[in-house]
Amino acid sequence: MQPGQLLRPLKYLVATYLTYAVVRHTAPRTFSTFSTSTSSAMPRGSVVCISHGGGKFKTLSPLSSLPVLLSTQKLYFHPLTPPGPLPVLGDPSHKSIVSSLTTRVPKLLRLGTDEAPRAIVVVTAHWSQRNPTISSASQHRLYYDYGGFPPESYRLKYDAPGSPDVAQEVKSALEKEGLTPVLDDERGWDHGVFIPFLLINPKADIPIVQLSVLASESPEEHHKMGRALGRLRDSNVAIVGSGFASFHNLAEMMPLFSGDPVRTSRVARKVAEFSGALTPAVETEGSEERAARLARWREFPHSYEMHPRGGGEHFMPLLVSAGAGGDEVAGKYKDEFLGVDIWTYYWSDVKL
């Protein structure tokens, strides 16, 4: 046999070995990559900016579905105190809001399904800080930041877990936007968290991470916060803004408490005109254009009557939520509150 005839089979043998080696080392990686992408396919977390309630309490109706049965039939309430626990105390002016918190919002969040969020970040209007501040403990006490209510109101419990891991994810996402977030493992969850969630998810089986708004009330900074939170949605973290975007000014609410139809009509007209400018801005499809329109929210009709100067904290969760909505088109629904239309906005694959 000639030397060239010996080399030819050797060449084929080497080629065969190299092919085997390549397949052996790359095939498992290819399969692993495919397997990971398949297993990580999950629903995108929804964004909902809720109205968590407000107003004057008149009568109390016990709600047996609550962890604590409120048995008293009297309530002493000063109209200038925060409205606090009214939605869970059977206040008739909250009937529409309570209905939405118990039906619409759980549906938007996919609660009770296999697609329920792995955690919920709640942006609360009742925590204003210089920097974005994140509750980071595995369990948080409740912070009863209201006054003038019966003792039972201070024994309400909401035992959902926190999530240090998700808190760290929130912190990292905010840092990528150039913000300076702070972790806080001590402050309790305020009533902007536990009051609506007693209604939204009474099972308390989804971890919650509470996030502050900014004392600066800067639209641009709140948009950055929302844009950061939007990244977490791909891993099925839901975002809930907890405020009262349509109207939150206790002085302007006083005419509604009187029951005077003329005065109520006057306030309702102003709220409608404000919402008439706000809603098209929120429904803007492009994230950056939406942010630009919402940055001018103080130019909307009656904005300083809806949210007094330096008192826009109940509007800030909407700015964060709108940022988290990305380029999606917002959905909306309205509730009736003391004769006024109150709007909730959401970004979700779930449609109502």
pLDDT by residue (tens digit) across 278-287?
A: 999 999 999 9
Structural domain boundaries enclosing 32: 1-41
Asked, for residue 228, whether it belongs to a domain, the answer is yes
Shared-domain flag, residues 148 and 184: yes
Mean pLDDT of 142-158: 90
Residue 334 makes CB contacts below 8 A (sequence gap 6+) with 341, 342, 343, 344
Backbone torsions φ then ψ of 225, nearest 5 degrees: -60, -45
**2-47 pLDDT per residue, tens:** 444 433 433 333 333 333 333 333 333 322 222 223 335 789 999 9
- Going by pLDDT thresholds of 50, 70 and 90, the confidence category of residue 54 is low
Sign of dihedral through CA atoms 274, 47, 310, 338? positive
Shared-domain flag, residues 250 and 260: yes
Asked, for residue 178, whether it belongs to a domain, the answer is yes
Determine the Cα–Cα distance for residues 250 and 79; give it in Å rounded to an integer. Answer: 8
- Evaluate if residue 269 carries a pLDDT over 80: yes
Q: What is the mean pLDDT of the chain?
A: 84
Of 59 and 313, the structure prediction assigns the larger pLDDT to 313
- State the pLDDT at residue 253: 84
CB-neighbour burial class of residue 61 (10 A; exposed 0-12, middle 13-18, buried 19+): exposed
Asked, for residue 275, whether it belongs to a domain, the answer is yes
SS3 209: strand
Q: Which H or E element spans position 331?
A: strand 331-337
Asked, for residue 53, whether it belongs to a domain, the answer is yes
Sole residue written with tokens 């909307």: 300
Determine the Cα–Cα distance for residues 44 and 229; give it in Å rounded to an integer. Answer: 12
Backbone torsions φ then ψ of 21, nearest 5 degrees: -65, -45
Determine the Cα–Cα distance for residues 176 and 156; give it in Å rounded to an integer. Answer: 37
- State the pLDDT at residue 143: 96
The candidate with the shortest Cα–Cα distance to 45, out of 173, 153, 154, is 173
Minimum mean pLDDT range among 201-215, 238-252, 256-270: 256-270
Strand 331-337 relative to strand 119-129: parallel, antiparallel, unpaired?
Answer: unpaired
Asked, for residue 313, whether it belongs to a domain, the answer is yes
Mean pLDDT of 98-116: 97
CATH number of the domain at 215, please.
Answer: 3.40.830.10
Shared-domain flag, residues 34 and 123: no
The candidate with the shortest Cα–Cα distance to 283, out of 318, 332, 238, is 332
- Going by pLDDT thresholds of 50, 70 and 90, the confidence category of residue 325 is very high
Adjacency order of strands within the sheet including 331-337 = 182-184, 133-135, 208-214, 119-129, 237-243, 47-51, 340-347, 331-337
Shared-domain flag, residues 69 and 191: yes
Shared-domain flag, residues 22 and 159: no
Total domains present in the chain = 2
Shared-domain flag, residues 165 and 275: yes
- State the pLDDT at residue 35: 29
Mean pLDDT of 315-340: 97
Mean pLDDT of 43-70: 60
- Evaluate if residue 59 carries a pLDDT over 50: no
- Evaluate if residue 294 carries a pLDDT over 90: yes
Share of the chain above pLDDT 90, in %: 70
- Going by pLDDT thresholds of 50, 70 and 90, the confidence category of residue 270 is very high
Sole residue written with tokens 């009568």: 59
Shared-domain flag, residues 104 and 13: no
Mean pLDDT of 180-190: 97
| Count of helices and strands (H, E) across the chain | 11, 8
Residue 46 is given by DSSP the state P
Mean pLDDT of 213-240: 98
- State the pLDDT at residue 83: 59
Strand 208-214 relative to strand 119-129: parallel, antiparallel, unpaired?
Answer: parallel
Shared-domain flag, residues 67 and 29: no
- Evaluate if residue 64 carries a pLDDT over 80: no
The candidate with the shortest Cα–Cα distance to 193, out of 101, 107, 113, is 101
Question: How many angstroms from the chain centroid is the CA of residue 16?
Answer: 58
- State the pLDDT at residue 210: 98
**Which spans in 43-190 are helix H?**
95-102, 104-109, 164-176
Q: Is 23 left (phi over 0), alpha (psi -120 to 50) or beta?
A: alpha
Mean pLDDT of 295-308: 98
Shared-domain flag, residues 31 and 158: no
Asked, for residue 196, whether it belongs to a domain, the answer is yes
Shared-domain flag, residues 275 and 296: yes
Shared-domain flag, residues 17 and 87: no
Shared-domain flag, residues 123 and 35: no
Determine the Cα–Cα distance for residues 83 and 219; give it in Å rounded to an integer. Answer: 26
- State the pLDDT at residue 128: 98
- State the pLDDT at residue 217: 98
The tokens of 173 are what?
Answer: 């996402």
Asked, for residue 352, whether it belongs to a domain, the answer is no
pTM of the predicted model as reported, rounded to 2 decimal places? 0.83
